[in-house]
Amino acid sequence: MRCGDSESTIDRRKILRSTAGLAVGTAGLAAASGSASATVEALYEALECTADGTWQAAPDGYPVLDLRGSTPTRLGDWPDDPRDLTIFVHGLGGDSDDGWKDQAYTFEQAARQNGWDPTQIAVLYNTGGDSLDWESSVDKAKTAGRRLADWLGGYAAENDVSSYRVVAHSLGGHVTGTLLNELDGDVVIDDVALLGPAVPKDSVCKDDGQYAPGIEASAEAVYNYRSWDDEVVCDLYSSVILGSGNDGLGCKAPDCGWFDSPPSNFEDNSVTFSVDGHCDYPRPDVGCVDEVVDDFGV
């Protein structure tokens, strides 16, 4: 099934009330940057991802790996002796309230809608989403990626799991890129899906890309899903507010120059016609989970 577009029903006043400090601070930066109109619109889109009602509520006991401390901790009811395991990684601000597990559960429901019933856990990590310091958030994401790699190495050694998959949204792209680098081929992930990744579009290039070594060594296949209608990555990320002027991989195709390219196991997918916004990638009825399921071959 191909998912169509859907108009969001989230009340913007509710979004602004629930994240007032972040909204005011970012709106002020937007005005100062000289691109207030586009950036404020992108801000609404970003805040929608953390608003109540955006995601389907995960049940009590949903399995979570807490990466906020130096020693990863299991929360909830974990699957016993799973044959395969999918790890969902949230993005910026996803650590607020229960958003971290609700996003994962929403993706899981969308996967079931498209014929795949994954055995899945969510990860929880500190994004620093309230600080308006993107570099700090990226550092925290990379720390989470290193902790996840350490945990996964031990888990794989103790459990007979035939396949691992990772699905990462937004800032979670940095968690996942770091995870693959740190694994260095000791554990190989069967499939990776990057949903609107807020990472530089040259970060997957073989010659100088920071995540290319891990993609080559630690994944059978990495799929990128990007949309020109993702205003968070296309406008906010590439602005002086969040990014450093480098277009994000969740908006633009990899830019590797004339004599470079991503690894052969990296596949770029434009999903502009099915993804209207940054929150839509993992949701049922809208987004691109149908394409993820097709690409994973599950």
For residue 4, count other CB atoms closer than 10 A to its CB: 11
- Alpha-carbon gap, residue 232 to 255, rounded angstroms: 19
pLDDT at 4: 38
Tens-of-pLDDT digits for all 298 residues of the chain?
333 333 344 444 444 444 444 444 444 444 444 455 556 777 777 777 777 678 999 999 999 999 999 999 999 999 999 999 999 999 988 777 677 899 999 999 999 999 999 999 999 999 987 666 888 999 999 999 999 999 999 999 999 999 999 999 999 999 999 999 999 999 999 999 999 999 999 999 999 999 999 999 999 999 999 999 999 999 888 764 555 557 899 999 999 988 999 999 999 999 999 999 999 999 999 999 999 999 999 9
Q: In this predicted structure, what is the pLDDT of residue 235? A: 86
CA-nearest of 161, 160, 220 to 189 is: 220
Q: Which of 209, 214, 201 is nearest to 175 (CA)?
A: 214
CA distances to 162, 229, 245, 279 from 287, in Å? 28, 11, 26, 8
What Å distances lie between residue 36 and 42, 51, 220, CA to CA? 10, 22, 42
How far from the centroid of its chain's Cα atoms is residue 64's Cα? 16
pLDDT attached to residue 93: 80
Question: Does the reported pTM lie above 0.85?
Answer: yes
Task: Give the Cα separation of 222 and 244 in Å (integer).
Answer: 24
Predicted pLDDT of residue 17:
41
Q: For residue 85, give both structure tokens.
A: 């395991």
Q: How far is CA 266 from the centre of its chain?
A: 16
- To the question of domain 12-296 being in CATH 3.30.1360.100, the answer is no
Give the helix/strand (H/E) hosting 123: strand 120-124
Tokens found for residue 198 = 């807020």
Give the model's pLDDT for residue 242: 54
